[in-house]
Amino acid sequence: MAKPKVAFYWCASCGGCEEAVVDLAEDILKVVEKVDIVFWPVAMDFKRRDVEGLGDGELAAVFINGAIRTSEQEEMAKLLRRKSRLVVAFGSCAYLGGIPGLANLSSKDAVFETVYKKVPTVVNPEGVVPRTETDVDGFKLKLPDFYDGVRTLAQVIEVDYFLPGCAPPPDLIMEAINKILTGELPEKGSVLAPEKSLCDTCPRRDSKPDKIKISDISRIAYKKIDTDKCFLAEGIICLGPATRSGCGERCINANMPCRGCFGPTREVLDQGGKFLSGLMSIVDTQDEEEIKRIADSVIDPVGLFYMYSLPYSLRMKFLK
Amino acid sequence: MKRIGVFVCHCGINIAGTVDIKRVVEAVKNFPGVVYVEDYKYMCSDPGQNLIREKIKSEKLDGVVIAACSPTLHEKTFRNTVSQAGINPYNCEIANIREQCSWVHTNMEEATEKAIRIVKSIVAKTLLDESLVPIKSPVVKRALVVGGGIAGIQAALNIANSGYEVVLVEKEPSIGGRMAQFSETFPTLDCAQCILTPKMVDVASNENIKLLTYSEVVDVSGSVGNFKVKIKKKAKSVDYEKCTGCGICVEKCPVKVPNEFDRGMSERKAIYTQFPQAVPNKPVIDRENCTYFQKGKCRLCERVCPFGAIDFEQEDEVIEEEVGAIVLATGYELYDVSNMGEYGGGELEDVIDGLTFERLLSSSGPTSGEVRRPSDGKVPKTVVFVKCVGSRDPEHHFPYCSKVCCMYTTKHAMLYKHRVPDGKAYIFYMDVRTAGKGYEEFYQRAQEEDGVIYLRGKVSKIYKSDGKLIVDGFDTLTGRKVQVEADMVVLAMAIRPSSGAEKLFNLLKVSTDANGFLTEAHPKLRPVESLTAGIFLVGCAQGPKDIPDSVSQANAAASMISVMFSQDYLIHEPIITGVNEDLCSGCGICVAVCPYDARKINREKGTVEVNEILCEACGACAAACPSGAAQQKNLTDRQIISMIKAILEE
Ligand SMILES: Cc1cc2nc3c(=O)[nH]c(=O)nc-3n(C[C@H](O)[C@H](O)[C@H](O)COP(=O)(O)OP(=O)(O)OC[C@H]3O[C@@H](n4cnc5c(N)ncnc54)[C@H](O)[C@@H]3O)c2cc1C
Ligand code: SF4
Ligand code: SF4
């Protein structure tokens, strides 16, 4: 029997997710044993026409990482969707929008203005910015359109499963691949990670006081705390309570509070908003001025609470 | 999918006058889950309810939406109706198309459109409703009353007389509280002891009351219906089984110390009963002042006691009691005169507070009821009474009104005039507040019959000059400075919560206001309940008040407790905020947020635990829970979102 065919593709991402696949190390050989990788631009020389040449639904699965920012990414996502029986949004950017999604705080024009004109290392006296069509010596050169916002993969095509993480950890990747190979998949639309939030597996959980109350918010760079103390209880913002577990607590073990790359749990629509609601609930004062002072002391709240999930947030869903 | 029936009520023309019922019925037929729709003139009437019951059976409905008036009116009615037809009542919901629609709109077109959307959203909610069963928990039919003043005594007697056991804990050797120190009471001037003592004796002889004097609550756990309370019984050093209260020991004891009950104006012994009518009328040894306990020698009382009741070996004992309800009646004390620098700061012997004056008036007091001033025992010929001392002074002291001072000062001046007819009584006042039955008449009588002189204004300074007390004041009615040379001054000091009460309140986790008085669950509608279920507040612990008000509160709390105890189980609405253990990570965010202390982290399980009886479904935790594990029953996020979608959908 022929081996099932799979593909990997990347959209708006940093490449870390591709790296994560390579990081499977010898395990990758077990994967290759069982499947045929027919498309993986970052690692092997395939062309778009190779995908176009496949029959509809011929691929068993495609793993797409990265958010959708350009027309090309959207086209490729749609093409792969047609060719594949399963689509897995691989990593936080495909699932939630990820860090590239924070660009939704600025318009397309503002992004171009900064990237092509204002950045100190750029020399662009004519003020050229990318255009979708340019005439050069009588030829038309085309570039993909750079959309006005960043979208998650599921906002562009139907996605069957979501594998969170920046990047997804090897054990969850292997587990997902095995599930696909054995067909023991959960309900469509599921996130392939544990249901509970990070506190469940956090190595610092036992240090939590019975009641968490905070009267000041600080940052890990400004405050020295014991490395076995719950960050939140010490007034350092940690998105762990609002973030799915399964990451292997890599940040926590490096003495960094959780930034939320695994996204919200099943019952939460808006990770940042929900966390903010929880955070302000444990602020230990009834005094409005004091509440305001504490709230105002959070530096870059959107960047902090929505570091990975701005395009996935309720607000962005409505703006769409 | 559920089979939902929608019943649209006309409410006469209340709804039908503004909402096109026919159109609503037609539109509702197409909503997902709806299998049957009918309208009727008055759904809440008997025929209306019968119709609902019939259709539930014939159409095999398992969810019902009544489009009618506000759920506060008839939600109960209709939930009963559907349960009679075999549906779990929590699968019946009300779409309010009257108060929130027909009554507030005039345009029929728009009102009809809105009514349709309201019904649609409630159908969407009902589709996701769970069947719920009221929460039942057993009740320990015993009450704890803390504080044996008039309020605590009254509450204890009432509960006991309803047939339930009461544990009454008083920190002093005797019950009675402040009232036991009074001579007469306003506005009737009946003798305080004469009306109080019979009640105190009733407490002692009531079989349902376990009286623990010289005792304090040291720990509380559990919740309404089942509190576990630890009480420390301080060592009395007297075996009450053997003691008959003969008093020989007191007579022979060589140690004399200032008597607190007489506000230091007389002396008591190291072994003492607080006052002649004390209940129990048996002594305790004040170990801090007893020669034997301090120096290891004496034991005179042991030698003279004919019954061998003295027991120097007795130790403090901690006992545990189980109770279903708790009444807090810890009363008050007076703000200390030393806080009033401008009035001598407590250094002027003849500037005294109201309770001290009560003792001077009392026939069992240090002067046997003759008004003699503390410094030299002379009868004062001019007495100045100053009201609102420390009260109504947010800048320096307390913002609130102590409520009883207007009346007791009037009483004091009047009683003084009765004792010293040729004396002069002046009262400095900011206002005279006489809201109470017979109070205004009492005040008029003081002026007219007893010639008490009222001066409107503040006293700026009290000092001593040539053996006289000089009271400098300002009469705001005449706009002139006044100065009165007085022999004695009585300050109506602010009423403060009892010292030590704060510790007890923290132990019980009941909240207090900015001034330290207990906070009621609702200032108007739940005046004797605390926010913590099963804990009640009576008397001055809740705020300054007089005896009639204290007694009314005690009666109210007692009857609420009797109602509670008349049932074998506490029944609690099942609409609470639970926890989905598959989602809860034990992050603990919700725990501190709950005002009712209903949530706790179970560290072994790694999830939070909810005490369903304590949850009042305020939803604070649901808003706070960062993982969506805390969700209000039948008001889950999913339900709310599907309702919003249903409303917004074109
Ligand atoms: C000078 C003066 C005159 C007054 N005259 C009148 C009057 O004529 N008519 C009138 O209607 N009202 C009068 N009042 C008001 C009256 O005193 C109160 O309304 C009444 O005493 C309130 O009763 P209570 O039981 O709430 O408090 P209290 O009488 O203060 O009793 C509280 C009891 O609780 C005990 N206690 C406190 N803390 C604890 C604890 N932690 N554990 C155990 N026990 C504890 C105390 O020892 C005390 O026995 C007067 C008040 C003052 C100051
Ligand atoms: S709903 Fe309110 S009362 Fe109930 S557990 Fe949550 S916070 Fe406590
Ligand atoms: S806030 Fe939510 S997740 Fe955290 S302990 Fe409470 S119920 Fe559990």
- In this complex, which of A197, A210, A267 lies closest to B585 when CB atoms are compared? A197
Stretch A154-170: mean pLDDT: 96
Are B606 and A205 a contacting pair at CB < 8 A?
yes
- CB contacts of B629 in chain A (<8 Å) are 265, 267
pLDDT above 60 (res A203): yes
- In this complex, which of A198, A208, A265 lies closest to B588 when CB atoms are compared? A208
A28 min Cα distance to partner chain B (Å):
32
- CB contacts of A268 in chain B (<8 Å) are 626-628, 637
Indicate which atom in ligand 2 lies nearest the CA of residue B610.
5
Residues spanned by CATH 3.40.50.700 within chain A?
5-100+149-182
- CB contacts of A200 in chain B (<8 Å) are 585-586, 606
Q: What is the pLDDT of residues A266-303, one digit of tens each?
A: 999 999 999 999 999 999 988 899 999 999 999 999 99
pLDDT at B191: 94
Cα–Cα distances in angstroms (integers) from residue A114 to residues A127, A151, B439, in the given order: 11, 21, 79
CB contact at 8 A, A59 and A5: yes
Q: What is the torsion angle, in degrees rounded to the nearest 10, for the CA atoms of residue B105, residue B109, residue B112 and residue B114?
A: -70
- In this complex, which of B585, B601, B603 lies closest to A241 when CB atoms are compared? B585
pLDDT above 60 (res B440): yes
**Which pLDDT band, with edges at 50, 70 and 90, does A317 fall under?**
low
CATH T-level topology, domain B573-633: Alpha-Beta Plaits (3.30.70)
* Least confidently predicted of A25-39, A96-110, B292-306: A25-39
Chain B residue whose CA is closest to A231: B587
Q: What is the pLDDT of residues B183-209, one digit of tens each?
A: 999 999 999 999 999 999 999 999 999
The H or E element spanning position B387 is strand B382-389
pLDDT at B222: 86
> Domain B142-234+316-331+498-565 class?
alpha beta
pLDDT at B14: 96
How far apart, in whole angstroms, are the C-alpha atoms of residue B492 and residue B482? 20
Q: Is B414 exposed, middle or buried (0-12, 13-18, 19+ CB in 10 A)?
A: buried
- In this complex, which of A206, A241, A267 lies closest to B589 when CB atoms are compared? A241
Are the folds of B4-132 and B573-633 the same?
no
Residues 6 or more apart whose Cβ sits within 8 Å of residue A229: A204, A207
- CB contacts of B589 in chain A (<8 Å) are 212, 241, 278, 281-282
Q: Which residues line ligand 1 (CB under 6 A)?
A: B 146-152, 169-172, 177-179, 182, 185-186, 216, 329-332, 334, 354-355, 358, 404, 408, 411, 498, 500-501, 504, 539-540, 545-548, 550
Are A196 and B584 a contacting pair at CB < 8 A?
yes
Cα–Cα distances in angstroms (integers) from residue B551 to residues B175, B353, B554, in the given order: 15, 24, 5
pLDDT at A320: 45
pLDDT above 90 (res A46): no
Stretch B415-441: mean pLDDT: 96
pLDDT at A318: 54
Q: Whose CA is nearest to atom 7 of ligand 2?
A: B594
Report how many Cβ contacts below 8 Å link chain A to chain B. 96
Phi and psi at A260, nearest 5°, equal 95, 20
Stretch B554-581: mean pLDDT: 95
Pick from B572, B599, B636 the residue to mutate for probing ligand 2's pocket: most ligand atoms within 8 Å of its CB: B599
CB contact at 8 A, A81 and A159: no
Are B592 and A212 a contacting pair at CB < 8 A?
yes
Share of residues in chain A with pLDDT > 70 (%): 98
Interface test with B, best of A190, A211, A252 (most B CBs within 10 A): A211
Q: What is the pLDDT of residues A213-271, one digit of tens each?
A: 999 999 998 988 898 999 999 999 999 999 999 999 999 999 999 999 999 999 999 99
Chain A residue whose CA is closest to B622: A278
B284 lines ligand 2 (CB under 6 A): no
Q: How many CA atoms lie within 13 A of A277 on its CB side?
A: 19
pLDDT above 60 (res B600): yes
Q: Give CATH superfamily name and number for B332-496.
A: FAD/NAD(P)-binding domain (3.50.50.60)
Q: Which residues of chain B have a Cβ shorter than 8 Å from any chain A Cβ? A: 580, 582-593, 600-601, 603, 606, 620, 623-629, 631, 636-638, 641
**Tokens describing residue B506:** 């923290």
Render A242-293 in DSSP notation, one character per residue.
Answer: GSBS-S-SHHHHTT-----TT---TT-S-HHHHHHHHHHHTB----HHHHHH
Q: Whose CA is nearest to atom 51 of ligand 1?
A: B404
- Mean model confidence pLDDT for chain B: 96
pLDDT above 80 (res A191): yes
pLDDT at B649: 87
**Tokens describing residue A190:** 């599921």
pLDDT above 90 (res A1): no
pLDDT above 90 (res A314): no
Tell me which architecture the domain covering A5-100+149-182 has in CATH. 3-Layer(aba) Sandwich (3.40)
The H or E element spanning position B305 is none
**Which pLDDT band, with edges at 50, 70 and 90, does B124 fall under?**
very high
Q: What is the pLDDT of residues B20-40, one digit of tens each?
A: 999 999 999 999 999 999 999
**Which pLDDT band, with edges at 50, 70 and 90, does A132 fall under?**
very high
How far apart, in whole angstroms, are the C-alpha atoms of residue A311 and residue A110? 18
Stretch B335-353: mean pLDDT: 97
Stretch A160-178: mean pLDDT: 95
How far apart, in whole angstroms, are the C-alpha atoms of residue A309 and residue A151? 10
Q: What is the torsion angle, in degrees rounded to the nearest 10, for the CA atoms of residue A293, residue A294, residue A300 and residue A301?
A: -120
pLDDT at B597: 85
Q: What is the pLDDT of residues B374-410, one digit of tens each?
A: 999 999 999 999 999 999 999 999 999 999 999 999 9
Interface predicted TM-score (ipTM): 0.91
- Taking the domain B4-132, which CATH number applies? 3.40.50
Q: Where are the domains of chain B?
A: 4-132, 142-234+316-331+498-565, 248-304, 332-496, 573-633
